Amino acid sequence: MAVSSEVKAFLREDALRRFLSYVKVYTTSDDESGKTPSSEREFDLARQLERELREIGLSDVETDEFCYVYATLPASPGCKGPVISFCAHLDTSGAAPGENVKPVFHRNYDGGVIAFADDPDLRLGPPDSPELSRFVGEDIITASGKTLLGADDKAGVAEIVAGLAALKKFPELRHPEIRVCITPDEEIGGGTAKIRTEKLGKLCYTFDGGEVGEIETECFNAHMAKIKFIGVNVHPGYAKNIMLNAGAIAARYVAALPEWQTPEHTELREGFFHLLKIGGDENEASIQFIIRDFEAETNQKRMVFLKSLADVFMKKYPGLKVEVEIKEQYRNMVEVLNNALAVVEVAQKAIEMSGVKVIRKAIRGGTDGAKLCFMGIPTPNVFAGGLLFHSKREWIPVVALERAAEVFVNICGLWYEKTL
């Protein structure tokens, strides 16, 4: 059943209102803490969401000790469908400041360059993000220039909560039992570290994708590499043939990697090495990479290359010690979703019902859904609507909030009578 104009208006207003509230809450995760949640500040939004879900009328609402927010909406009478889940994450990336976010409206976007009040040198236009051209005449939201916006993934959170509010407000919107989970620490790879899968349904959808219409069923195979260089230090005036400067050698190691296999030079299905951190001194230095590819075998070759390069450097600099530690972060969810086609087909149909063209693409990143897939819960990723995530130029069209919330409602309606 098509969503009525009254429901659409409600979704637009409610999702926007919640989004503007959520982005102002400081929730940047901390990849150095080693805790779950990685930052106590994430609880601020978690507890706000808990209150809102109770106000809407959901049951079994809780924020657990690890900052996961759970809630249940019982099925409409006569439901034949399975229990389904929806996930989004409340943390934001540390790649740009996330405190004191000030959302700014750019009304009736004219297709030109957007300026930022708090950074006169910062600009945003179609050359930076070609998708902007599709939203001429629409209202665009950015931050003010000093921070990211936080649409990744507070847009997804707002769309899910608005959708739940609509299901409660409009009884004609039929749905199966819905279980919601809002996660912490997705941006640092910990979104499912402490998740309780028994609180979820048989299938799930994350709302954590990009532009309007996207559905993602394939993601990177992902690994994290930490490499430590232990050198030999001595007074620089007497260092000839003695000093092994760990910091300088670490820099040379990075420079020895193929530049064409970095994010700046790759697209579509091309993988990469991405330097996240480099630091140290003459005695000890460390570097940190993420390694990404859609093909596990190709990623394995990158890991072998890093270890082989470490061996070369130790032979080149006798006495140097190089320690390489590599850990898997997530796998390509297509391995699971190719065997769960009904879950994907429902999402595609739900997008079409909202009047949006379906965009099937492989995500050049990962989501909580990638890990949930391998926990036995098929979980494709649906658009949240924002673009240029993790940057001060991050933006989202207001219409995306409405469309994604409508897709949420449509997914629920389709599963009301459908069985797995």
The token duo for 344 is: 């994907």
**Catalytic one among 52, 185, 186, 211?**
186
Say which residue the tokens 């819905």 belong to: 178
Considering the candidates 31, 42, 52, 91, report the single residue annotated as catalytic. Answer: 91
Instruction: Specify the 3-state DSSP secondary structure of 310.
Output: helix
Cis before 77 (ω within 30): no
* Tokens encoding 305: 């290359």
What the block records as the tokens of 7 is 């429901």
Tokens representing residue 69 in the block:
């927010």
CA distance 254 to 278: 9
- Catalytic residue status for 186: yes
d(CA 344, CA 125): 33
Q: Which of 131, 130, 126 is nearest to 211 (CA)?
A: 131
CA 368 to each of CA 89, 301, 316, 334: distance values in angstroms, whole numbers, following the listed order: 8, 25, 42, 14
DSSP 227-287: EEEE-B---GGG-TTT-B-HHHHHHHHHHTS-GGGSGGG--TT--EEEEEEEEE-SSEEEE
Q: Are 302 and 225 in contact (CB under 8 A)?
A: no
281 labelled catalytic: no
Catalytic residue numbers read 91, 186
